[in-house]
Structure 1
Amino acid sequence: MGEPVGMLKVIVVQGKRLVIRDFKSSDPYVIVKLGNQTAKTKVINSCLNPVWNEELSFSLMDPVGVLYLPLFELCQLKSSFDPRDLISFSSVIVKEVFDKDRFKADDKMGHAHLSLQPIVSAARLRQILGVSSGETTLRKVIPDPDNCLVRESCVSCINGEVVQDVWLRLCGVESGEIQLQIKLMDPPAAP
C-alpha cells in the first residue's frame, strides 16, 4: 500500500433517461468500488430519473486506485469489458448501474468510467499554489473517446476542497447519464 492521497468522497447525485429493465420502469442503484473498498446507494423504486444525493467515502492511496461503480439496470462500458483489466489503469473510475429485482438476478443498466488523475493532480496544484479560500478553477477535462464525459468538467477548489462535477454517459445501453460530484479531501496530518 502506498502513501495516503486523501479521502475520496463520491456523491452519486442523480440519473437521467435510464433504460427500462422491468415492465415499465426500473429500480436502479449504484455500486462503487475502489480497490477492496465497496459502497452502494439505496434502491430508487420505479424510476428512470432517480435522485440519490448519496455520499460514498473511500480512502485514496498513491498510486491512485481503481474506483469501480456497477449500476444495475443502467449501463455497460464495452462488450469486452472485464474489471480485472483495470488493474493496469490505476486512475480510472468505472461505474455500473443495476436494476433491483426480487425474484431473479439484478439487471445491469450500463457503466461509465472517469479518470481520477485530473482531480489528484489538481489537488497537488492547489497545495503548490496555496489556494485555500474562495473558488478557483484548477483544471478542465474535456470529453474524448477515453472517457464517458457528456460535457466538459471543471476541477475546482471551493473553500479549500478540491471538487469535480461530472455527467457521465452510460455505455452499452440505449440511453442514460449519471451525475457525480467527486471531492478529494486532504489526508489527516500525521501526529
Structure 2
Amino acid sequence: MGDKSGLLKVTVVQGRRLVIRDFKSSDPYVVLKLGNQTSRTKVKNSCLNPVWNEEFDFSISDPVEVLNLQVFDKDRFKADDKMGNAHLSLQPLVASARLRKILGVTATEGTTLRKVIPDSDNCLAADSSIVWVNGEVVQDVWLRLCDVDSGDIELKIKLINLPSN
C-alpha cells in the first residue's frame, strides 16, 4: 500500500445551525475518519452553534483518501442521534502542495495556490481557497451537513508533509 509519510492536521473549529435532536437543543460532537484512522471531538452540551477548536493529526498516504465526518448528539440512555455527515476530497490540497514543490515556486505569505468550488467530491458550503501560510499548505472550509435540514461544520486543514509517491 502507500507510504504513510504525510501529516495532515485537521482542526474542527465550529458548527453552526445544527439540528435539534433533544427537547430544545443538542449535545453535539464530531467524528472524523480518514481511512482506518478515527478521531472525535469533545461533546458540547446544549449547543446548536458549538465551538470546538480541537486539532487532530492524521497520517496520509497515496492514493489520497477522502476525509469523512459525522456529527452526533450525545444521549445518556440510548444510542447517540445522527446530526448529519459530510466529506471532503483531500486531492486538491495535496495536488496544490505537490505542484508548488515540483515547480519550486517560492510562495509569499498568504498566496492562494488553488480555489476549490462545491461539487460532488466535497460537501463545501461555499468556495474555499488553498493558501500558503507559514510554510504550510492550508485550507479553511465550511462543510454543509448531508441528510439533515441544516448544519455546517468549519474545518481548518493543514498539510505539514506530503506523502511520498
**Which TM class, normalised by the smaller chain length?**
over 0.9
Distance 2:121 2:71 in 1: 20
Distance 2:74 2:40 in 1: 12
Deviation at 1:5, TM superposition (A): 5.0
Deviation at 1:100, TM superposition (A): 0.4
User: Which residue is 2:15 aligned to?
Assistant: 15
Distance 2:5 2:140 in 1: 20
Structure 1 residue runs without a partner (length 5+): 66-91
User: Which residue is 2:146 aligned to?
Assistant: 171
Q: Give 3-state SS (helix, strand or coil) of 1:118's partner.
A: helix
Structure 2 counterpart of 1:185, one-letter code: I
Distance 2:42 2:158 in 1: 20
Distance 2:145 2:24 in 1: 20
Q: Which runs of structure 1 show a deviation greater than 2 angstroms over 4 or more consecutive aligned residues?
A: 128-133, 144-147
Residues 57 and 134 of structure 1: is their aligned pair in 2 closer, same or farther, counting only changes over 3 Å?
A: same
User: Which residue is 1:180 aligned to?
Assistant: 155
Distance 1:111 1:184 in 2: 23
Q: 1:98 aligns with which of 72, 82, 89?
A: 72
User: Which residue is 2:93 aligned to?
Assistant: 119
Q: Does 1:56 align with 2:83?
A: no
Structure 2 counterpart of 1:40, one-letter code: R
Residues 58 and 143 of structure 1: is their aligned pair in 2 closer, same or farther, counting only changes over 3 Å?
A: same
Q: Give 3-state SS (helix, strand or coil) of 2:150's partner.
A: coil
Q: 1:135 aligns with which of 102, 110, 117?
A: 110
Q: Deviation digits for residues 146-186 of structure 1, max 9, x if unmatched?
A: 42111100001112100000001101101000000111111
User: Which residue is 1:85 aligned to?
Assistant: none
Q: Does 1:107 align with 2:77?
A: no
Normalised by the length of structure 1, the TM-score is 0.80
Deviation at 1:115, TM superposition (A): 0.8
Distance 2:19 2:71 in 1: 10
Structure 2 counterpart of 1:19, one-letter code: V
Q: Give 3-state SS (helix, strand or coil) of 1:135's partner.
A: coil
Q: Give 3-state SS (helix, strand or coil) of 2:111's partner.
A: strand
Normalised by the length of structure 2, the TM-score is 0.92
Residues 145 and 34 of structure 1: is their aligned pair in 2 closer, same or farther, counting only changes over 3 Å?
A: closer
Number of corresponding residues: 163
Deviation at 1:134, TM superposition (A): 1.7
Q: What's the C-alpha RMSD, in Å, of the aligned pairs?
A: 1.8
Deviation at 1:45, TM superposition (A): 0.3
Contact 1:27 1:44 in 2 (8 A): yes
